Amino acid sequence: NTFIVTVPSWRATKDVSHKYDLIEEIARLHGYENIAPQLPVLPTNLPEENLERRRKHEARKILSLALNCNETINYSFYSAQTVKNCLLEEHSHLKIENYLSEDQTHLRTTLLPNLLKNCAENSKNRPVFNLFEFGRTYKKQSAFFPAEEKWLGILSRIEKKQAGEIFYQIKGITETFLKEFKIPHISINKAQSAPAYFHPGKAAEITINKEIIGYVGEINPLVQINFDPAAII
């Protein structure tokens, strides 16, 4: 019951290096069709459900089917000029040492800059649309690695003649999404201190049990001019 096998020199390099490789050769010569099929003995329990993945799919359905939003996927970087265009502080960003281009020098701390670039590009073909993105942001901290957070960003673009309605439109989209997504104990109130890229007087805080989880509002006119001066976004 013992075999002494010598592997030919032309098969000896990374081709036949283990007993299973020899078993495969025997099976091939014997004929795979002559081997009776047999199910492997494996556990049949279903894997644990990935709740985050399921909820993300649910959110996509609400945004795309119920709220007429289109999903966009962006890189996790933007340029130093983009940081300035959004009235953000460059020192709060992590700069990449071996960046590939001048457009990808800083890790993003918010999804908004890239969404604004998507908006400006798409506005060349369509005057009205809604975009959303799921993505990570990266913030400096004392530890070696940055703090990674997962965010959902939604952006709505309308024509200038509808400018007075934009805040209520995006607020309505947000409220409908939160309702359909069934998030309890949530409220939207006037922002006391919103990020600089929001309009100073047209921004609100989204809170759960008095904890701020996001913002909704119009884009600061200065930021708007930097990205898409022909639109209200």
For the segment 150-206, what is each residue's pLDDT rounded down to a tens digit?
999 999 988 765 556 788 888 999 999 999 999 888 999 999 899 999 998 899 999
Residue 233: predicted pLDDT: 39
What average pLDDT score do residues 78-100 get? 93
Average pLDDT value for residue range 103-112:
95
- Half-sphere exposure of residue 64: CA atoms within 13 angstroms, side-chain side: 11
Q: What is the pLDDT of residue 68?
A: 93
Residue 226 has pLDDT above 60, yes or no: yes
Count CB neighbours of 163 within 10 A.
12
Q: In which region does residue 115 sit, left (phi positive, over 0), alpha (psi from -120 to 50) or beta (all else)?
A: alpha
Is the Cα dihedral 54, 56, 62, 64 positive or negative? Answer: negative
The model's pTM is 0.77
Question: Coil, strand or helix: which one is 149?
Answer: strand
Looking at every residue in the chain, the average pLDDT score rounds to 89
- CA quadruple 96, 97, 101, 105: dihedral positive or negative? positive
| pLDDT grade for 41, boundaries at 50, 70 and 90 | confident
All residues at 6 or more sequence positions from 89 whose CB lies less than 8 Å from its CB, including other chains: 83
Listed in order, strand segments (DSSP E) in 23-84 are 70-71, 77-78
Amino acid at residue number 86: C
Q: How many CA atoms lie within 13 A of 135 on its CB side?
A: 22
pLDDT at 213: 94
Mean pLDDT, rounded, for 40-54: 87
